[in-house]
Amino acid sequence: MNLNSVLVLGALISTIGILGILLRKNLVIMLMSLELIVLGGAVGLLGGARSHGALAHAVPDGALFIPFIFLIAAADACIGLTLIMTLFKTQKTLWVDEMDNS
């Protein structure tokens, strides 16, 4: 795959995530959409690192950031799910439209 197709794939994944956040009103789906945005950025970073690697057999510099991106995304998902569970305990719903402001 060339760089353009990888970047288009990353942009497509990020666009699906943005649409999921804007169109869905369930907090769990919104959190999964946020993870899709992070994944789309990681795909673009990895594609750019693969195409612009300094040495053919060495690990490109951008590819070293991918495990850290996934680690931060996993921590984000854990914190997000904890917040969602706390909101569900107090509000008794996961739908944004049905939550009250108290």
User: In the predicted model, is pLDDT for residue 102 greater than 50?
Assistant: yes
Query: What is the domain range of residue 94?
Result: 3-98
CATH number at residue 23: 1.10.287.3510
Question: What pLDDT does residue 97 have?
Answer: 87
Looking up tokens 């990895």 gives: 46
User: Considering the chain, what percentage of its residues have pLDDT values greater than 90?
Assistant: 56
Contact 58, 100 (CB under 8 A): no
As for how many domains the chain has, the answer is 1
Q: Is 24 helix (H, G, I), strand (E, B) or coil?
A: coil
Give tens-digit pLDDT for 19-45: 999 999 999 999 999 999 999 999 988
